[in-house]
């Protein structure tokens, strides 16, 4: 489970996301991506000139996850009621509204920007600062795909560039690495421009979001890794497929 969870931070934050996404909020990989279908045929065409370096970092990240991330996530899941977990995920997802809004606007997706604004307004008020998600019950505010600056760059024709595995952060590519600059600039809760003057509050925000989003994604990653002959290639393939699909949405 250790290897899995750390990588899922990536799939979230990055992606999200964010992974991003979550809050890599978060969109999740398809069943085909997660369980490693067609890995050999896909990964062979992914530009990976730094594979030797990437594999070293991949192994380092796996060990780090084993020693640190998994125990934290396991403890969080063990002591946190399911309803509290859901509320916490909703809360952090709601706070990433500025990133999703700007991502939509820069791609000319004005309907998506309108929906994101409507959902943020409803959830922040009727949903008690985003802990609940009453906008899910409003048909006109049905969820739209998450958007970020990596997708913006892709929509404007920038190629993904070389595949990279970053220490601690995990899988990415050159385009998404540049996209992180835009994501940070549009997120009011992290530097360089932030409404949080206290470093302690910024650290609490980042750590809280990572812990809250990790359990669900870690389970999926663990299953993918367990079924893959080459976990490194499986993750590379899954990440690349996910990001390409997100740009084409």
Q: How far apart are CA 68 and CA 57, in angstroms?
A: 16
| Bridge partner list, 166 | 170
Task: Identify the pLDDT of residue 12.
Answer: 40
| Residue 193 tokens, joined | 């421009």
Task: Identify the pLDDT of residue 42.
Answer: 53
Buried b (16+ CB within 10 A) or exposed e, 194-218: beeeeeeebeebeeebbbbbbbbbb
Residue owning tokens 């062979």: 44
pLDDT per residue of the chain (249 residues) written in tens, 0 to 9: 445 544 444 444 433 333 333 333 344 444 444 544 454 455 558 999 999 999 999 999 888 877 877 787 788 899 999 999 999 999 999 999 999 999 999 999 999 999 999 999 999 999 999 999 999 999 999 999 999 999 999 999 999 999 999 988 889 999 999 999 999 889 888 777 777 777 788 778 888 888 887 787 677 767 777 788 898 998 899 899 989 999 987
Q: How far apart are CA 51 and CA 59, in angstroms?
A: 12
121 by Cβ neighbours in 10 Å (0-12 / 13-18 / 19+) ranks as middle
Coil, strand, or helix at residue 238? helix
- What is the pTM for the complete model shown? 0.79
Biggest alpha carbon–alpha carbon distance for the chain: 51
Q: How far apart are CA 128 and CA 180, in angstroms?
A: 29
| Bridge partner list, 165 | 171
| Residue 69 tokens, joined | 């991330």
Instruction: Name the helix (H) or strand (E) containing 97.
Output: helix 97-106
Pairing of strands 163-166, 170-173: antiparallel
Q: How far apart are CA 67 and CA 152, in angstroms?
A: 36
Torsion angle, alpha carbons of 8, 77, 100, 235, to 10: 10
């Amino acid at each position: 489970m250790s290897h899995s969870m750390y990588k899922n931070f990536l799939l979230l934050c990055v992606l999200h996301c964010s992974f991003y996404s979550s809050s890599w909020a978060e969109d999740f990989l398809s069943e085909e991506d997660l369980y490693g279908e067609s890995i050999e045929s896909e990964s062979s065409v992914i530009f990976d000139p730094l594979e030797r370096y990437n594999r070293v970092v991949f192994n380092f990240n796996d060990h780090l996850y084993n020693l640190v991330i998994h125990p934290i996530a396991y403890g969080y899941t063990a002591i946190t009621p399911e309803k509290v977990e859901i509320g916490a995920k909703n809360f952090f997802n709601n706070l990433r509204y500025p990133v999703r809004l700007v991502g939509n606007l820069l791609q000319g997706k004005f309907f998506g920007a309108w929906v994101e604004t409507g959902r943020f307004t409803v959830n922040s008020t009727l949903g008690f600062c985003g802990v609940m998600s009453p906008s899910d019950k409003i048909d006109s505010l049905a969820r739209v795909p998450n958007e970020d600056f990596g997708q913006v760059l892709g929509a404007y024709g920038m190629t993904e560039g070389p595949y990279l595995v970053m220490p601690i952060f995990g899988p990415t590519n050159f385009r998404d690495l540049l996209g992180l600059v835009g994501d940070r600039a549009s997120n009011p809760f992290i530097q360089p421009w932030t409404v949080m003057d206290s470093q302690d509050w910024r650290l609490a925000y980042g750590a809280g979001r990572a812990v809250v989003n990790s359990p669900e994604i870690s389970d999926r990653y663990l299953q993918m890794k367990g079924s893959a002959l080459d976990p490194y290639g499986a993750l590379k393939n899954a990440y690349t497929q996910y990001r390409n699909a997100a740009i084409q949405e």
